[in-house]
Amino acid sequence: MLIRHSTLLALALPLCAWAETPQATYAPPASAVTAASMLQMLGGLLLVLAVVGAAFWLLRRFAVTTGTAAGAIKVIAGAAVGQRERVVLVEIGTTWLVLGVAPGQVSALHSMPKVSATHLANDLPAPPRKGFQVWLRQVMEKRNAS
């Protein structure tokens, strides 16, 4: 019987020791992101964006022109005549140039004295009316007539 008690004691000791050892409890890590740190980060971001915006504004405001033909050349109109080809009407002083523009090439097609925009608009025929605009006008006229 003595052997039985000692065996029981030997088996019970590890269980008691195991039951008495403190268990590691899981605690979630403290959150590193707080409201104050978020506000600080957003403030810094807004400050950087404001500095970049101010720099671009200053560059545009005080842009140094090269002194060449800045403002002397104006593109009046342009039309695509192909996939990568265009015809462009350019004003230089009192002269209008009709230029053909293609990749790697610009060709002068015609030159003429400057024409006022109202004179040019009066010479062009009115485009034919068709499509939705005409249909809508007809519907509105029928509705107003009834």
Span 64-92, pLDDT tens digits: 655 555 567 888 888 888 888 999 988 88
Residue 112's DSSP bridge partners are 96
Q: 96, 113 in Cβ contact below 8 A? A: yes
User: What are the Cα distances from residue 134, in Å, to 65, 131, 142, 143, 146?
Assistant: 48, 6, 12, 14, 19
pLDDT tens column, 7-61: 655 655 555 555 555 666 766 566 667 888 889 999 999 999 999 999 999 988 8
Domain ranges in the chain are: 73-123
SS3 content of the chain, % helix, strand, coil (to 5): 45, 20, 30
Taking the C-alpha atoms of residue 114 and residue 96, their distance in angstroms, rounded to an integer, is 5
